[in-house]
Structure 1
Amino acid sequence: MDILINVVLPLSLAIIMLSLGIGLTVSDFARVLRAPKAFGVGAIAQVILLPLAAYATVTVFGLPPAIAVGFMLLSFAPGGVTSNILAKLAGGDVALSVSLTAVISLLCLLTVPALTAWTVVHFMGDAAPPVSVASLTLAVFLITTLPVLIGVTIRHFAPRFATRIDPILSTLATVLFIVIIIAALAGNWDIFATNLPTLGPALITLNVALLLIGLGLARLAALNWQQSKTVSIETGIQNATLGVALAGLISGQTEGFSAMALPSGVYGITMYLVAAPFLAWYRSRS
């Protein structure tokens, strides 16, 4: 289990972020300037409204402190490669999806450490493990930002090589993610079983709410249908692996996964079940 926490988990997240970077070009970042309104709406939904919705969900369902922290950690995570794939399946604006994922993934270096430190103290009080913002920032940089930058660099200077290794990295990242989710649930089965009656409904409620919030905000901003679908998906689909990794970084446990990892672990499964009917609806209105 220690190998999974200390080696496989960070490696898996780094591979996922490298895979994300491999699929990006410099123009994906520049596109933000060409479509500022759509990007701004998506960024507000993901960076501001998403954590607020998670906080409201935690409060309404009265979740235990460690589980509440896990919900918030999940809400701080960017969309990742999965959101790009789902945006494509939904017939959305893939370019917008990629741009949002790219910029928010880099922005999380600034947002995640500070928000995480506040969240742990807010929900756990005196029982909160010590969290160093500087150390957390360095860890987030090494396992998220740096792999993305390396991937973008490889794509820029060796595009053919990037095209060849992209599917390999994606497959490897998926396999490692599945292993981590299984391990997270197995290592906390008693806590999982005890909290499932509230954890499951709370996660599903949050996921549905986020998809609708993203869609509603986009329509209020008069974005076109393709852009609206994309903002919905980018708001509702998070990088669950980062949530699990953050839980591991701040829990202080030397053995096994902490209860903070459970929301992201369960969400890694339920998000596909929740997203499926939305994708079917979105595709029917392409």
Structure 2
Amino acid sequence: MDILISVVLPLGLAFIMFSLGVGLTGADFLRVGQRPVAFLIGAMHQIILLPIAAYFVVRAFGISGELAVGFMILAACPGGVTSNIISRLAKGDVALSVSLTAVISLASVVTVPIIISFALMTFLGADAPDLDIASTAFTMFLLTVVPILLALGVRRLAPDAMTRIEPTLTRIATVLFIIIIFAALASNWDAFVANLPALGPASLVLVVVLTTIGFFVPRLLGRSLNECKTVSIETGIQNGTLGIAIAAIIIGGAEGFGPYSLPSAVYSILMYVILIPVISIYRRLD
């Protein structure tokens, strides 16, 4: 288990983030300035709305302690490459989706430590483990920014080769994603079974709330249907692998895959229960 937490998990996450970076170009970042309103709405949903919604869902379901912190960790994580794929399937604005994923992933170096610190103080109080915000930010930088920047550099040097191997990298990243989720569940099986009556409904409600608000708020602000679909999906999908990694590497310490990681693991599975019909609905909205 020590090797899994200290070696396999960070390397697996780094590979997943690298596979995300391979699909990016400098234009994905520059596009933010070309469409600032749509991007700003999507960014505010992910950075501000998501943690607020998670906080109220946790309170509404009476979830406390480490599991509550785990939900806030999940809410702090940006969407991964999965959101880009689902945006494409839902006939959304894929360019906006990619731009949001790229920029919010880099911004997580700042946003994640702040949200985690708030969650620890709020739900654990004096029992909260010590959290060095600077060290957490540096760890986030190593786990997310470095692999993405490395992938951008490799893609710039060998664009044709990276384009050819991108589907293979994505498939490998998907397998690693599944392995990490089920490792987190297996390591906390008793806690998972005991808390599933609260974790399951809370996760489903959170997905419904986020995808619904994510669609209607941009619509009320006059954005196009495709932009609304994308903001909805980007708000509803979280990078569960990153959430599990943060829980295990930054907070878990000697516990490894502790209860902190359960919300990310459960959410990563149950979000598809809601998103599959959402994709079907969005495909008809043209």
Matches within 5 A, 1:250-261: 250-261=250-261
Structure 1: which 4+ aligned runs deviate by more than 4 Å? none
Matched, 1:210 2:222: no
In structure 1, the residue corresponding to 2:254 is in which secondary structure? Answer: coil
Scaled by the length of structure 2, the TM-score of the pair is 0.97
Partners of 1:275 and 1:97 lie apart in 2 by 16
1:256, distance to aligned residue in structure 2 (A): 4.2
In structure 1, list runs of 5 or more residues that go unmatched. Answer: none
Aligned length: 286
Partners of 1:282 and 1:70 lie apart in 2 by 30
The residue number in structure 1 matching 2:115 is 115
Q: Which amino acid aligns with 2:275?
A: A
Q: Deviations over 1:191-224 (max 9, x none)?
A: 1111100110000000110000100111011101
> 1:51–1:76: 8 Å Cα contact kept in structure 2?
yes
Partners of 1:120 and 1:246 lie apart in 2 by 13
In structure 2, the residue corresponding to 1:254 is in which secondary structure? Answer: helix
Matched, 1:32 2:32: yes
1:86, distance to aligned residue in structure 2 (A): 0.2
In structure 2, the residue corresponding to 1:63 is in which secondary structure? Answer: coil
1:164, distance to aligned residue in structure 2 (A): 2.4
Partners of 2:156 and 2:4 lie apart in 1 by 32
1:74, distance to aligned residue in structure 2 (A): 0.5
1:3, distance to aligned residue in structure 2 (A): 2.1
Q: Which amino acid aligns with 2:129?
A: P
Q: Deviations over 1:128-179 (max 9, x none)?
A: 1111111111110011011111111122221012112212221111111111
The residue number in structure 1 matching 2:137 is 137
The residue number in structure 2 matching 1:197 is 197
Q: Which amino acid aligns with 2:196?
A: L
1:43, distance to aligned residue in structure 2 (A): 0.7
1:88, distance to aligned residue in structure 2 (A): 0.2
The residue number in structure 2 matching 1:278 is 278
The residue number in structure 1 matching 2:73 is 73
> 1:68–1:123: 8 Å Cα contact kept in structure 2?
yes
Partners of 1:21 and 1:125 lie apart in 2 by 37
Matched, 1:23 2:14: no
> 2:25–2:152: 8 Å Cα contact kept in structure 1?
yes
> 1:251–1:258: 8 Å Cα contact kept in structure 2?
no
Matched, 1:128 2:143: no
The residue number in structure 1 matching 2:263 is 263
In structure 2, list runs of 5 or more residues that go unmatched. Answer: none
Q: Which amino acid aligns with 2:54?
A: A
1:117, distance to aligned residue in structure 2 (A): 1.8
Scaled by the length of structure 1, the TM-score of the pair is 0.97
Partners of 2:6 and 2:200 lie apart in 1 by 27
Q: Which amino acid aligns with 1:18?
A: F
The residue number in structure 2 matching 1:86 is 86
The residue number in structure 1 matching 2:157 is 157
Q: Which amino acid aligns with 2:36?
A: P
Partners of 1:2 and 1:204 lie apart in 2 by 32
The residue number in structure 1 matching 2:225 is 225
> 1:58–1:68: 8 Å Cα contact kept in structure 2?
yes
Identity %: 54
Q: Deviations over 1:52-99 (max 9, x none)?
A: 000010111110210000000000111110000000000000000000
